[in-house]
């Protein structure tokens, strides 16, 4: 069933408020994207989110929107602390799936001759795939509990990085309010075996070339230059976050009935923000978010180790430093302007990136004059983007923008399209070296499975909810 939608301008669309909707929907997309979306369920999910109690402003969808569990992936929604709810479906299973970008002092031309050896070393040093882990990182229960509270700081305190890294991570690398007592034994068990691992599916580690600079001033502030080598790490909270989500979905289904919340879709199960169930979920979710921050910090340390092993250079020569680290799947308390007045709101971002504007106090001081860095990965055969946040994003989308290209093919459909293709050879012809745990992962992640991220960030730029700084081209891709 097609969802009624009205065009606002070239890249914004309104889903009118009707029926049980408490507010309207706001979708960022081109005309062609909307035509595709009308064939699937994502727009219906935008409309469903608009029915939730205490929603403030529109139910928002980014141009990488596609169908997800409860909320669409690419969905953003804000909730009032007194009347609003928190929903695990508005965060997702992979809590704090996110992206970290490292810059270097090296030109990419120094890496190309050693790309295969570097790919092998990265693949060996950074565990990937299902159930993988480093044999030299064994956590005791109390150590894991410390990770859940301290996040990336735990890793830095144990020699995996520097305090400078923490200055360039969203929330400083740890959400407050984490309570390991509210996490199940099963989640703890899964987490102990997976800290410091890349995982499988769309998670990746890429060595990239800064192919194009579109905003020289912002690029200089971020330490980026044309022809430079960068590294992107895309992963989250692994099986730990999945288990936290799964555990609390059962709790939230009961809570929705207990508090008389009428749901158009049971996957939107939720609890009032002030309820015991709502508070407990936020505390457990913070544990998973902190696990993910620590996970990316450990991987950063092993990336640095790999470059030192292969190049024979030390940290001072390589200067592999963190530009920024952003969350994609999170619910957070933030302050925003509503009808001209500042309000404390719980912002759900599922497959969406925070994009705070210049001058915002939560943007690292080094970048405050240009806005928060925004990292938008594309598919493994094309390119990724670096943007910065804007005032328009802050006022239109609660300081949010897209998080990636967005899938257009299911994993099963991607495998079908990949039949008969030598994907490794096709990537090699583009100058891209790939390492993966198996061909199935490569087939699921073929470029054709995703929208062209250039079109997605084009909508973001045209709408003014992000400003493009640079385009990055993959040179080495590590997949689980």
Task: Kindly list the catalytic residues.
Answer: 403
Pull the structure tokens for residue 160: 């995996």
In the numeric block, which tokens belong to residue 362? 């939560």
Token pair in block for residue 246: 């799964």
Instruction: Write the CA distances from 67 to 46, 60, 144, 263, integer angstroms.
Output: 10, 14, 33, 18
Task: Give the residue among 280, 73, 287, 70 at the shortest CA–CA distance from 190.
Answer: 287
How far is it, in rounded angstroms, from Cα 62 to Cα 329? 14
What span, in angstroms and rounded, lies between the C-alpha atoms of 363 and 374? 11
CA nearest neighbour of 424 among 407, 439, 437: 439
Displacement of CA 11 from its chain's centroid (Å): 22
How far is 175 from 40, CA to CA, in rounded Å?
34
Measured in degrees and rounded to the nearest 5, phi and psi for residue 196 equal 85, 30
Q: Other C-beta atoms within 10 Å of 459: how many?
A: 22
Please list the alpha-helical segments (H only) found in 77-183: 115-125, 141-150, 152-157, 163-166
Give the dihedral of Cα atoms 193, 194, 200, 203; nearest 10 deg.
180
């Amino acid at each position: 069933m097609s969802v009624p939608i009205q065009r606002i301008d070239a890249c914004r669309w309104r889903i009118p408020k009707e029926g049980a909707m408490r507010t309207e929907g706001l979708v960022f997309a081109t005309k062609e994207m909307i035509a595709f979306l009308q064939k699937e369920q994502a727009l219906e999910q935008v409309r469903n989110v608009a029915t939730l109690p205490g929603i403030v402003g529109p139910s928002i969808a980014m141009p990488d929107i596609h169908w997800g569990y409860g909320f669409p992936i690419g969905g953003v929604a804000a909730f009032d602390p007194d009347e609003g709810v928190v929903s695990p479906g508005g965060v997702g299973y992979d809590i704090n799936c996110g992206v970290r970008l490292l810059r270097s002092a090296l030109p990419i031309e120094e890496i190309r001759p050693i790309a295969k050896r570097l790919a092998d070393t990265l693949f060996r040093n950074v565990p990937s795939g299902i159930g993988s882990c480093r044999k030299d990182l064994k956590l005791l229960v109390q150590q894991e509990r410390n990770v859940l509270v301290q996040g990336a700081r735990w890793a830095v305190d144990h020699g995996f990085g520097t305090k400078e890294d923490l200055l360039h991570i969203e929330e400083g690398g740890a959400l407050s309010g984490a309570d390991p007592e509210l996490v199940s034994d099963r989640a703890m068990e899964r987490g102990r075996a997976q800290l410091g691992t890349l995982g499988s599916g769309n998670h990746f580690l890429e060595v990239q070339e800064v192919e194009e600079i579109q905003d020289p001033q912002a690029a200089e502030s971020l330490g980026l230059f044309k022809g430079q080598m960068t590294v992107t790490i895309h992963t989250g909270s692994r099986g730990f976050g999945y288990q936290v989500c799964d555990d609390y979905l059962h709790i939230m289904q009961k809570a929705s009935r207990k508090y008389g919340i009428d749901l158009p879709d049971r996957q939107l199960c939720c609890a009032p923000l002030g309820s015991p169930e709502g508070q407990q979920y936020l505390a457990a979710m913070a544990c998973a978010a902190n696990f993910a921050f620590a996970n990316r910090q450990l991987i950063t340390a092993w990336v640095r180790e790999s470059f030192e092993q292969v190049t024979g250079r030390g940290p001072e020569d390589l200067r592999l430093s963190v530009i920024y680290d952003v969350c994609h799947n999170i619910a957070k308390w933030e302050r925003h302007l509503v009808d001209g007045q500042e309000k404390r709101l719980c912002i759900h971002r599922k497959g969406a990136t925070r994009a705070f504007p210049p001058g915002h106090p939560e943007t690292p001081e080094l970048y405050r004059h240009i806005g928060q860095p925004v990292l938008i990965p594309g598919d493994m055969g094309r390119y990724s983007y670096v943007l910065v946040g804007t005032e328009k994003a802050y006022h239109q989308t609660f300081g949010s923008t897209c998080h990636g290209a967005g899938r257009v093919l299911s994993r099963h459909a991607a495998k079908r399209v990949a039949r008969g293709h030598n994907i490794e050879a096709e990537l090699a012809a583009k100058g891209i070296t790939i390492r993966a745990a198996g061909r199935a992962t490569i087939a699921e992640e073929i470029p054709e499975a995703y929208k062209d991220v250039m079109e997605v960030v084009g909508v973001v730029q045209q709408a003014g909810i992000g400003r493009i700084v640079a385009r990055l081209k993959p040179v080495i891709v590590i997949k689980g």
